[in-house]
Structure 1
Amino acid sequence: MGRQREFDVDKALDAALCVFWRKGYEGASYTDLTQATGVERPALYSAFGNKEALFRRALERYYEHYLDFFPAALEQPTSLEVAAHILRGAVELSTRYPDRKGCLGIHGALAGSDDAEPIRCTLIEARATAETSLRERFERAKQEGDLPETANCTALAAFVMAMTHGMAVQAKAGFSRDVLEAVVEQALSTWPSKALDTLEA
């Protein structure tokens, strides 16, 4: 019978998530991970597998605990409110923690080595899935008359996703929440909707 684990797996995973969020997948060293979790490398990888497997587990936790505003946004009654909920949620998350600004998924999908390509592809696929669900929501809004017939739902979904990505990069570069919130309001002011005046800031 194997020896019982002497550490809290959930706490270790949370600690590893914070390291990846702050430093990115490739920037997080084994030393960073063991120091943050307080778990020696053999025990850490016995529990989670290798670094890639640990990152994937951390990413699942990130989506579950930090990106819940996205599925909630899809339930909003109008397309404008959907976009507003996503963009404002992205600003809040990207500026919530001074020690790890931006978005774990977006930073991880940026340039990396060949060894990190599987991780980058996973993050790109996750973004594409989110964009597809957003496009489908906007198509429904168009059918319901919330968006004009001329609205390009594919472009609108790509626009919202591009805004979230850009703001995450800006937050990482030191842009304040106030500035990013102003960017959101500017973006929403151009929304092709008949209900602009119904959305409370």
Structure 2
Amino acid sequence: METKKNGPIGRPRGFDTDEALERAMLVFWEHGYEGAGTARLTKAMGISTTSMYAAFGNKEELFRKVLKRYTEGPSAYLARALEEPTALGVATAILAGVVRTTTRPAHPHGCLGVQGALSTSDSGQEVRDLLVAWRADGCSCIRERFQRAVDDGDLPPQTDPGLLARYVATFAYGIAVQAASGIGRDELQELADAALRNWPLI
């Protein structure tokens, strides 16, 4: 057998792990954690159960990798929005990003981070907790950005940055739920615009 200096050359994986992870993300996004059974996942990923476990770990570990991919991909609008020069620009970009991401024709509607584990059995408790922490982290990032806006005079001094961040986050999650229910992009964008019409509302 051909060898390297440090031992035998391992057999290369017979699939593209990046593409398999992308497909797994779409399955979890569409069906949620509970609905994404192993058979459904492996069929979409085009691999065997053995290969899935070897490459990604168990279902929960796969979901954690998928959530990271979702955060850095479809949900990356949040990180970009936080770089807007004004607090209103931040809120506008967040809601516009949610509308775009949750209504893309070629992707499942709704938000993986919102609906991924709203209803799970006891075995899915850790995933439910993971998504609660994921949403809380997003809200915390918005709050910190709004606090900076208060400190810089971009928001009135009496503004409660935590409450304002929770308002924007809650509205964003509501948009995601409405999108999953079939509400169209134009109507959702109108709702987003209306929510920010009297900025700041709090």
TM-score, normalised to structure 2's length?
0.91
Matches of 2:85 and 2:12, distance apart in 1: 49
**Mapped pair 1:75 → 2:83:** yes
Q: CA deviation at 1:104?
A: 0.7
Matches within 5 A, 1:104-115: 104-115=112-123
Matches of 1:148 and 1:15, distance apart in 2: 45
Q: Which residue of 1 aligns with 2:41?
A: 33
Matches within 5 A, 1:21-170: 21-97=29-105, 99-170=107-178
Matches of 2:27 and 2:193, distance apart in 1: 32
Which runs of 5 or more residues in structure 1 are unaligned? 194-201
The answer to whether the Cα contact below 8 Å between 2:150 and 2:159 also exists between their aligned partners in 1 is yes
SS in 2 for 1:80: helix
The answer to whether the Cα contact below 8 Å between 2:117 and 2:124 also exists between their aligned partners in 1 is no
Residue type at the aligned position of 1:175 = I
Residue type at the aligned position of 1:110 = L
Matched residue pairs, number? 193
CA-based RMSD of the aligned residues comes to 1.3
Moved over 6 A (4+): none
The answer to whether the Cα contact below 8 Å between 1:94 and 1:168 also exists between their aligned partners in 2 is yes
Q: CA deviation at 1:153?
A: 0.9
SS in 2 for 1:100: coil
Which runs of 5 or more residues in structure 2 are unaligned? 1-7
Q: Which residue of 2 aligns with 1:179?
A: 187
Provide, for residues 38-66 of structure 1, a one-character-per-residue CA deviation record: whole Å limited to 9, x for no partner.
10111111111111111111111111111
Residue type at the aligned position of 2:83 = E
Which segment is superposed worse, 82-91 or 109-118?
109-118
Residue type at the aligned position of 1:158 = R
Change (3 A) 1:176 1:124: same
SS in 2 for 1:67: helix
The answer to whether the Cα contact below 8 Å between 1:109 and 1:124 also exists between their aligned partners in 2 is no
Identity %: 46
Q: For the pair shown, which has the larger CA radius of gyration, 1 or 2? A: 2
